[in-house]
Amino acid sequence: ADNRWLKVTEAKTPHGYTVGISTDVTAEQRALKAAEAADREKTEFLNNVSHELRTPLTVISGRASFLRNSERLPQSKSLAAALENATPADGAVTTAVTSFQRFVSEQSAGIENSAKHMLRLVEDLLDWTRVARGQLELDLARIEVTDLGRTVVEDLRPDAEAKGLTLTYSQDGPAEAMADTIRLKQILYNLISNAIKFTDTGNIHLSIEQLGDQIVFSVADTGCGIAQDDLERVFQRFQQVDGSMSRQKGGLGLGLAIAEQLAVLHGGALSLESELGKGSTFRLTLTRAEAAFQRTG
Ligand code: ADP
């Protein structure tokens, strides 16, 4: 009555009779369709939430950065000028204004950092929804990668030093790959930020080496490491190894899933070696541009 379809499969009984086994296919298919629809709905929802959050966050981050440099604002300058012209010059007022400017600047730096952190999470969510819908596309060009590696290390060095860690870099000569500059940077930022996040003492090292047709980017840390049983899991979406520790460190468990997808879209791979308590080495392997061209003719 309610559109039930039965699938009949033939089977033999132990005594050799052929019987028909009927399964309610409609129910199975319906469940599958419902699961797919739910999955799509979730992706849509994530996408909408991320878009909604991104706009106000961009505003907060922008305004905070504006305030952080408050002494450069025209209002602040005219205040300072007015004070200078006031007779007699009141040292106490000048000190109060300077201290107020410093206060505004410190508070804004805090707001800016938090907004930037949230923006990174939102960007990860947006990237993930692009991956889930198969809409993440690369803008490939032939690029030299060792300068790019150095830039990422220099950008992240203050974060490492703030935790008392050293961040070093080595390479064995200029190397060219067919890559999307922004996305390649994103992979390296992600690996090095993770290394900083999960290391309490020691050193983080990025090396770029050429091995035959390959360029190998290795990010090695002396951090907490990952148990053998968890090695596969870290690349899965929303997965964090030790729930308690990762929650302490924050994050959505999307960074490595996105990084791996980006590596694959580049025709490369992301792999991991780790020992619990000793540290981890993540390796991104890309094909050298020369070799990639030879291969495609
Ligand atoms: P998140 O942003 O939540 O950290 P990721 O996908 O970047 O998500 O990482 C997933 C999990 O992999 C982390 O929560 C952590 O448990 C583990 N992990 C990633 N990088 C490292 C590392 N360098 N050392 C130890 N564990 C790591």
Kindly report, residue by residue over 108-140, the tens digit of the pLDDT. 888 888 888 888 888 998 998 898 888 899 999
Q: Is the CB of 241 under 6 A from ligand 1?
A: yes
Q: Is the CB of 202 under 6 A from ligand 1?
A: no
Protein residue whose Cα sits closest to atom 21 of ligand 1? 194
Q: Is the CB of 268 under 6 A from ligand 1?
A: no
Distance 159 CA to ligand 1 centre (A): 17
Q: For residues 46, 52, 57 and 62, what is the CA-based torsion angle, rounded to 10 degrees?
A: 130
Ligand 1 pocket mutation, candidates 186, 246, 272, criterion most atoms within 8 A of CB: 246
Checking 63-72 for CB contacts under 8 A at 24+ apart, the result is: 64/108, 64/109, 64/111, 64/112, 64/115, 65/108, 65/112, 66/108, 67/104, 67/105, 67/107, 67/108, 67/111, 68/105, 68/108, 68/109, 68/112, 69/105, 70/101, 70/104, 70/105, 70/108, 71/101, 71/105
Does ligand 1 come within 6 angstroms of the Cβ of 281?
no
Taking only the tens place, the pLDDT of each residue in 170-184 is 999 999 999 999 999
Q: Do β-strands 6-12 and 18-24 pair in parallel, antiparallel, or remain unpaired?
A: antiparallel
pTM of the complete model: 0.76
Query: Is a pLDDT exceeding 70 seen at residue 244?
Result: no
Q: What's 234's DSSP letter?
A: G
The minimum-distance atom of ligand 1 relative to the CA of 252 is 3
ipTM (interface pTM): 0.98
Q: How far is the CA of 194 from the centre of ligand 1 (A)?
A: 6
